[in-house]
Chain A
Amino acid sequence: MKTLKRIWDLALIMVAVWVMMIALIVTIDKMVVPLRISAGEGTTQTIIEALIKLMISAFMAMSWLLIWVRMIQKYIERVGRNLRGGS
């Protein structure tokens, strides 16, 4: 029980991060990859389009990491508050 109590919040964060990771992949595959930004078919336009898609995907991945960091910060704040409240 002690072990479960100790890991419960962190395990929930881990599951949430995992669910968000899958959601991120599905979103990139279903929404970012099919994006058609320009009507042209030249090599330059294809490269620009690929770069824009890459930047959008990278931005989404960075947001996912930031949410993960924020969750851990929230956990530290909450556990700290509980400790102060208990003492």
Chain B
Amino acid sequence: MIPMALITSFTITLMVTPLVMKLMRKLGIVGIDVHKLSRPEIPEMCGLSMLIGLVTSSIILLSIQFNPKILAFTLTSVLAAIIGIIDDLFTLKAKVKTALTILCFTPIAIMSMIYPNHIILGRPRAPLVGGFRLTIVYWMLLPFAIAVPANAVNMMDTYNGVMSGGCAMISASLLASSIILGQWDEATMSAIVLGISSAFYYYNKYPAKAFAGDTGSLMLGAAIGSIAVLGRMEMVGITVLMPFIMNAFHSLRSIGGLLERGEISERPVKVVGEYIEANLNPKAPKTLANLMLRKGKATELELIKSYHALCAVSSIMGIITALLMLVRI
């Protein structure tokens, strides 16, 4: 199932993306690549191809053998993608978008009630201590288990290939972690996410030919969150997403919460010729780019490599976390 999920999702996304790119250009749904001197127009909302790749692969897998976990994973991702589509087309307010993503946990919650033997919630596993039982607290945190990754991944989609490349590394780490922990359903889901994100990376990498838009970023974040919840691998999920969480947490903290783009007086970085510099104004959001560029200006490609290097570190840490889950002290 795992190789099939990987190959199917990769092939479909690779084939569908150019068609979506053409369609978006035709519909005038384009965004400006602000970090390039020529400021080229790039088709937006191309994350739709990843949605098609994910849904088609899941339908194929479900038609071979019904699996409530894969259905919950697919429905969660589709719900997040729908919010992304609405946001891409009508630009939702930051607070409304975040509030809507909180609802993305509902397919998992409903499916866990219909299939309590398949989907076990409230019993996360942790490194060195094994499994533990959380009842009320877990249900209070569950909505954020999907909303936080979805929004954190969305906030990281600022430079060519950072989001798609980062998600490809994270899903590879989740795939390895699932195999280590014997979570075969979650390994299949991770393979789907790895397939769609790596195929989309081909078009999204520097210099980008396609932008994922909120459709793609919210969907990928929700998909990663749902894999972590369904596989009781919440700790692995937090670990692999650390650069994304770090980016979102410190930037939100520095600007004092969820604000509209127009309400943020300073940009985190400044584009000076072919270089990108950190904005040292105290009011500038402390994004990962702002923090990394404080060590000196860089070209966009150098900055993208730095992002990917951090994701590689967190992905390795994710696998170590999974290995530590097998150890009890």
**In the complex, chain A residues whose CB is within 8 Å of the CB of B291:** 10, 72, 75-76
Determine if B173 is an interface residue (Cβ-Cβ < 8 Å): no
C-alpha spacing A83/B235, complex, angstroms: 36
* A5 adjacent to B295 (CB under 8 Å): yes
The 8 Å CB contact of A25, one of B127, B249, B250, B293, is: B127
C-alpha spacing A39/B235, complex, angstroms: 34
The 8 Å CB contact of A6, one of B127, B250, B306, B321, is: B306
* A25 adjacent to B314 (CB under 8 Å): no
**In the complex, chain B residues whose CB is within 8 Å of the CB of A54:** 137
A interface secondary structure, majority: helix
Determine if B204 is an interface residue (Cβ-Cβ < 8 Å): no
* A3 adjacent to B309 (CB under 8 Å): yes
Chain A's closest residue to B246 (CB) is: A14
* B305 adjacent to A3 (CB under 8 Å): yes
* B313 adjacent to A15 (CB under 8 Å): yes
**In the complex, chain A residues whose CB is within 8 Å of the CB of B288:** 10
* B128 adjacent to A21 (CB under 8 Å): no
* B137 adjacent to A29 (CB under 8 Å): no
* B242 adjacent to A79 (CB under 8 Å): no
Chain B's closest residue to A30 (CB) is: B129
**In the complex, chain A residues whose CB is within 8 Å of the CB of B305:** 3
* B129 adjacent to A26 (CB under 8 Å): yes
C-alpha spacing A78/B293, complex, angstroms: 14
**In the complex, chain B residues whose CB is within 8 Å of the CB of A11:** 309-310, 313
How many chain A residues sit at the interface, stated as a range, is: 20 to 34
* B296 adjacent to A6 (CB under 8 Å): yes
B241-274 CB mask vs A (1 if < 8 Å, else 0) is 0110010011001000000000000000000000
* B317 adjacent to A15 (CB under 8 Å): yes
Chain A's closest residue to B307 (CB) is: A7
Query: A43 to chain B: closest CB distance in Å?
Result: 15
The 8 Å CB contact of A69, one of B253, B280, B306, is: B253
Query: A53 to chain B: closest CB distance in Å?
Result: 10
Chain A's closest residue to B303 (CB) is: A6
B68-81 CB mask vs A (1 if < 8 Å, else 0) is 00000000000000
* B132 adjacent to A29 (CB under 8 Å): yes
Determine if A59 is an interface residue (Cβ-Cβ < 8 Å): no
Query: B166 to chain A: closest CB distance in Å?
Result: 13
A58-78 CB mask vs B (1 if < 8 Å, else 0) is 000000000011001001100
Determine if B9 is an interface residue (Cβ-Cβ < 8 Å): no
Query: B276 to chain A: closest CB distance in Å?
Result: 12
Taking A3-B305, A14-B310, A29-B126 as given, write out 10 further A-B residue pairs in contact, using a Cβ cutoff of 8 Å, ordered by the A residue number.
A2-B302, A6-B292, A6-B302, A6-B306, A7-B309, A10-B288, A14-B314, A26-B128, A33-B132, A68-B249
21 chain-A/chain-B pairs, Cβ below 8 angstroms: A2-B298, A3-B306, A6-B296, A6-B298, A6-B306, A10-B246, A11-B313, A14-B242, A14-B243, A14-B246, A17-B242, A25-B127, A30-B129, A68-B249, A69-B253, A72-B250, A72-B286, A75-B291, A76-B286, A80-B294, A83-B294
